[in-house]
Structure 1
């Protein structure tokens, strides 16, 4: 049975039969490849801990009739810190879902592979949301759908202030061309500058990008809607991230309410003394 080497990142897993596992690798040289790991779900399997989601692995794959089979695997990086924090986990899931939805089987995209690896590595210690937004922008670049943010997509006129953003046309529109897309949404100048920065920056300089909560929400919303329009799908990981954020906000609100109650109670006691 012919074999070949593959260096890849685990972007999806699923159970197969009683003890096997389907593993989707996004590979440096082979693109997206789904393979079978025989017996991977057994307690004493040699694959235990080696094919975890997000892991960067080097594998020896055997060519099969319907699915190639994992013969050997070694872990280059586990990115274990991504699994220790819900925010990091959520945005890492967002990154691998984007790769899965935006790439075809066995079409190499080495630049996108390197961007994914850089994003997962930086998310371990950096701001996962900003890094996730940067990777989303890189997916658009690699897919050929990078939007224009500083010039009208129709006439090329420079746009320096807030402007209408067209998902269908692929970027901002000047006032004269805004009627070309009735569904275009308004974007602030700050959000457009931030998206432009994300599109054209290297990951090492992302710490320089400072966004307040309002700007984060606007940039995230614009990129999400544009990605979903281009990929023609809803991104499930973003729904999970919103739930995590909502749970945290509810928890924080509850904590503030309890603390406020304690302060009020202490004040009352003091008043009666």
Structure 2
């Protein structure tokens, strides 16, 4: 039975038979691969704790008729912190679900693999919501669906205010061309800047923002002699400067008009 090596992230798990585990990996070189781990659910299995959701693993896979079979597993990064906190767990689960739905079997996606690896790593200590939004933006970029945020998708003119965002057309519409999509939603200039920032920011810059947030929150807690319930310090400080995903992506009040549901 031919075998091959793969490096991937566990993006989905399920049960197979009475004692086996079905795992789906987003692999760096092979793309999305689903394989069976024989006996993985047994208490003394050699795979115990090695094929957990979110784990970055190196595996040896044997080619099977219908499913490949996991022969060996080495954990490169367990990302255990993501499974120990409900917020981190929820946003990490969102990230791997997006990766799963956006990829086809056996289609290499090395850039998406690296983005997911980076996102899961940063989520261990950073704001999971901000990082999940960044990953969603990167997924759109690597999938070829990055929206336009500064120029009208129809006429190409620069758009700074009074814009609408069209899901169907893939970006922003100026006031003149908003009629092209009756279902387009009103988007503030701040929200569009935030989306543009997420589409282009590098992981190193994102990591610095995460660190800045932690430092400012820690300092505020020390001076105020209290423990903040929510890590909102960085979002408030950056509201008038570089837009943050948590602040901008929430949008405002929604209203229903002739063109459908819109956000003010």
TM bucket normalised to smaller: 0.7 to 0.9
Instruction: Show structure 1 runs of 4+ deviating over 3 A.
Output: 208-214
Would the alpha carbon gap of residues 130 and 68 (structure 1) be closer, same or farther in structure 2, given more than 3 Å must change? same
- Counterpart residue number, 1:83: 83
Would the alpha carbon gap of residues 162 and 135 (structure 1) be closer, same or farther in structure 2, given more than 3 Å must change? farther
Q: Is the 8 A contact 1:162 1:192 kept in 2?
A: no
Query: Is the aligned partner of 1:32 residue 2:32?
Result: yes
Q: Is the 8 A contact 1:62 1:69 kept in 2?
A: yes
**Cα offset for 1:218?**
2.3
Q: 1:86-116 deviations in whole A, cap 9, x for unaligned?
A: 1111110010000100000000010110000
- Counterpart residue number, 1:175: 175
- Counterpart residue number, 1:136: 136
Query: Is the aligned partner of 1:211 residue 2:219?
Result: no
**Cα offset for 1:165?**
0.3
Structure 2 unpaired stretches of 5+: 210-237, 255-264
- Range that drifts further, 208-217 or 96-105: 208-217
CA distance in 2, matches of 1:210, 1:194: 5
TM-score when normalising by structure 1 = 0.78
Between Structure 1 and Structure 2, the one with more helix by share is 1
**Cα offset for 1:205?**
1.3
- Counterpart residue number, 1:16: 16
Q: 1:128-164 deviations in whole A, cap 9, x for unaligned?
A: 1110000000110011110000000011100112410
**Cα offset for 1:213?**
5.8
Would the alpha carbon gap of residues 213 and 65 (structure 1) be closer, same or farther in structure 2, given more than 3 Å must change? closer
Aligned length: 220
CA distance in 1, matches of 2:29, 2:181: 40
Q: Is the 8 A contact 1:154 1:177 kept in 2?
A: yes
Q: Is the 8 A contact 2:119 2:135 kept in 1?
A: yes
CA distance in 2, matches of 1:9, 1:141: 20
CA distance in 1, matches of 2:157, 2:100: 35
Structure 2 counterparts to residues 96-245 of structure 1, below 5 A? 96-206=96-206, 207=209, 209-211=242-244, 215-218=248-251
Q: Is the 8 A contact 2:8 2:25 kept in 1?
A: yes
RMSD: 1.6
In our comparison, the structure showing a higher alpha carbon Rg is: 1
